[in-house]
Amino acid sequence: MMAIPNMLTVMRIFLTPIFIICLFSDFFGAQLWALVIFIVASITDAYDGYLARKNNMVTDTGRFLDPLADKILVSSAFISFSIMGLIDIWMVALIIFRDLFVMGLRLLMSRRGFIMITSKISKSKTAVQIGIIIFTLLFLTLKGFNWVLLKDYLIFINEYQLVYYLTMIAVIFTVYTGYTYIQENRKAIQEIMN
């Protein structure tokens, strides 16, 4: 039987296509559903790790699936925003490249008997990305409802391209955390390369 934390992780993977379908649908409140699904999926991200550690249910499957599920959910959101024209594709490419690089480095290190040191700052990377995605989804949701009271707020976000520049900040931060991984693990990387 699959452990509850792993079930939550798998649920997050299955919620991702439903989130994308709602995001691109044109029925009334579709973007609100996308926002709700994304928030639920993000909560499972925080909760599955907590449950696994608390109940001593940390497994190799969980260690592999949990970051993969995060990357699938977050990358899907950023790719969708790029398709919608809210952000540039190079931003998405840098986020995905950083994640693939870190995953590849972790795999290489574990095969050589090293344990990757996770830098403290990189742990906040996912929180920053999720925060910006929720902000963008909230913007799209309110835009869909077209409330007069929120018109000035929406115009302000559009005029100053807040989604674009906030995502750019997230990209710079994401790339920086990739660099911190190299710095924190440089001794192990040098030994592997030698």
- pLDDT tens for 151-165 read 898 999 999 999 999
What does the DSSP assignment read for 110-168? HHTT--PPPPTGGGGHHHHHHHHHHHHHHHHHHHHHT-GGGHHHHHHHHHTTHHHHHHH
The Cα–Cα gap between 50 and 70 comes to 15
The CATH number given to whatever domain includes residue 174 is 1.20.120.1760
The count of domains in the chain is: 1
What's the pLDDT tens digit per position in 30-89?
A: 999 999 999 999 998 877 777 777 777 777 666 778 888 889 999 999 999 999 999 999
Helix, strand or coil for residue 37?
helix
Domain that holds residue 96: 4-193
**Three-point CA angle 142, 171, 178, nearest 5°:** 140
